[in-house]
Amino acid sequence: MFKEAQAIPGVGFGLTDEQKMIQQLARDFAHNEIAPVAEHYDKTHEYPWPVVRKAQELGLTVMAVPEEYGGLGLSMFEEVLVAEQLGWGCTGISTTMSANGLGYLPIKVAGSEDQKATYGERLADGELCAYCVTEPEAGSNVAGIRTTARKQGDYYVLNGSKTFITNATNANFYTVFAYTDQAAKHKGISCFIVERDWEGVSVGQPFDKMGQHASDTAEVIFDNVKVPESYLVGAEGQGFLIAMKVFDNSRPTVAAAAVGLGQRAVDEAVRYAKERSTFGKQLWQHQVIGHMIADMGMEVEAARLLTWKSAWALDSTGANTMEAAYAKAYAADTAMKVATQAVQVFGGYGYMSEYPVEKLMRDAKIFQIYEGTSQIQREIMVREIFRKRK
């Protein structure tokens, strides 16, 4: 749909009426359903089931699922529009919602039609899933995983553990990456669908995190789990490629959520700078504060445009590795910087948990870490820049 809004091929900033409606739906949901309860879930660390259920009714947890399977079937650009608005409300709650799409992505990019239909419909019916790649010894280095899946007859025996898994304790099924041939190195990684209730699957207690407390994050352990061969996603040895394709799809939405957090930080700083007066002036009228907020707004807008470009590239060409790395790194770094500046604008009050910018600063840090650290994004940039100049 986004390509229809282009006045010049490859360039354009207008939204179609349908995209404006989708964006407004997400904005209303963020303002009315997420923001009012964000502080509660941040303090209690409870899983935000009431918000998730409302989001499911609107299809906001199945944006990536094709329409024929009960999802919204949104383009990547449309997902980005939604992700920014939800991130504005609370990135802990929005991460909980978006994890469903992340868990489904391996099935979407490489699964059989039966797998796409079965699990897409289950998600549309209210189930949850989780994406299992990260391990205690392997984060950004996917090839460093140690989980194995040994073929035995018509099933695989899965052993290993995954950590920092979003939605781990509430997911009904997982998409899991494991070695089926360790000698082949990264070409020996495969992807599987694993049901939560299978014998040998267990989940640890949720981690106590710095931020995004509404997001359920825990360890998942696989102890001699028998996985029927029909639950293999794609072919053996395609797991690494699948994971890379997932990153190209997931990083624009992660970047968009970071943009949403950054925009919230700007909005809160503007509001406070208009309400607070010092030395006979409103805070923003002091040039040092006004310029700080101007820089915040400029950097968030730049992050937004990089994010839009990364989504547009995937929708229009099917390839966005470089654009996704640019967007994810810049948006993540901007979210952290802008949230920190918002705390500075608030002064001592910004350090207090009763004011929203304290939470924004805690929530922002993870964007520089998950879905590939900011340092890994720069490694991708270097690789792509020099690959294109051979």
> For the purposes of burial, counting CB atoms within 10 Å of the CB of 57, is it exposed (0-12), middle (13-18) or buried (19 or more)?
exposed
Rounded Cα distance between 16 and 326, Å, is 25
Mean pLDDT along residues 223-243: 97
Q: Which CATH architecture has domain 2-124?
A: Orthogonal Bundle (1.10)
**CA dist 200 to 119, 223, 385, Å?**
21, 5, 44
Of 46, 371, 379, 384, the active-site residue reads: 371
pLDDT above 80 (res 1): no
Rounded Cα distance between 209 and 168, Å, is 15
Rounded Cα distance between 18 and 14, Å, is 12
Coil, helix or strand at residue 196? coil
| CA nearest to 181, candidates 145, 132, 154, 130 | 145
pLDDT above 90 (res 115): yes
Mean pLDDT along residues 297-315: 97
What is the predicted pLDDT for the residue at 12? 67
Mean pLDDT along residues 298-318: 96
**Rg from Cα positions in the chain:** 21
CATH of domain 241-387: 1.20.140.10
pLDDT above 90 (res 349): yes
In single-letter form, the type of residue at position 221 comes to I
Q: What is the pLDDT of residues 61-70, one digit of tens each?
A: 999 999 999 9
pLDDT above 90 (res 13): no
For residues 223 and 159, is the Cβ–Cβ distance under 8 A?
yes
Rounded Cα distance between 253 and 310, Å, is 10
Mean pLDDT computed over every residue of the chain: 94
**CA dist 296 to 43, 227, 291, 340, 374, Å?**
27, 49, 9, 10, 19
What is the predicted pLDDT for the residue at 45? 95
Mean pLDDT along residues 359-365: 98
- Helix 321-346 vs helix 239-275: crossing angle, to nearest 10: 30
pLDDT above 90 (res 14): no
What is the predicted pLDDT for the residue at 8? 41
Count of beta carbons in the 10 Å neighbourhood of residue 382: 11
Residue 347 DSSP symbol: G
Q: In the structure, what pLDDT confidence band is assigned to residue 388 with cuts at 50, 70 and 90?
A: confident
Rounded Cα distance between 29 and 296, Å, is 25
In single-letter form, the type of residue at position 251 comes to R
Q: Do 129-239 and 241-387 agree at the fold level?
A: no
| CATH 3.40.50.2300 at 129-239, yes or no | no
Mean pLDDT along residues 49-77: 95
Helix residue ranges per DSSP H, the chain: 17-29, 35-44, 49-58, 76-89, 91-110, 113-124, 239-275, 287-317, 321-346, 356-364, 374-387
Report the largest interatomic distance among the alpha carbons of the chain, rounded to a whole angstrom. Answer: 80
Q: In the structure, what pLDDT confidence band is assigned to residue 18 with cuts at 50, 70 and 90?
A: very high
For residues 176 and 192, is the Cβ–Cβ distance under 8 A?
yes
CA dihedral in degrees (207, 213, 214, 215; nearest 10)? -50
What is the predicted pLDDT for the residue at 236? 96
What is the predicted pLDDT for the residue at 249? 94
pLDDT above 60 (res 216): yes
- Helix 76-89 vs helix 35-44: crossing angle, to nearest 10: 70
Q: Mind giving me the DSSP string for 103-156?
A: HHHHHHHH--HHHHHHHHHHHHTT--EEEE--BTTBSS-GGG---EEEEETTEE
Which residue ranges make up each domain of the chain?
2-124, 129-239, 241-387
Phi, psi dihedrals of residue 229, rounded to the nearest 5°: -60, -20
Rounded Cα distance between 195 and 81, Å, is 31
Coil, helix or strand at residue 193? strand
Rounded Cα distance between 147 and 133, Å, is 9
Non-local (6+) Cβ contacts of 354 within 8 A are none
**CA dist 158 to 57, 198, 208, 227, 327, Å?**
34, 11, 28, 7, 35
Q: What is the pLDDT of residues 123-148, one digit of tens each?
A: 999 999 999 999 998 878 898 999 99
Q: What is the pLDDT of residues 26-48, one digit of tens each?
A: 999 999 999 999 999 999 999 99
Coil, helix or strand at residue 77? helix
Mean pLDDT along residues 244-252: 95
- Quick check: is 371 catalytic? yes
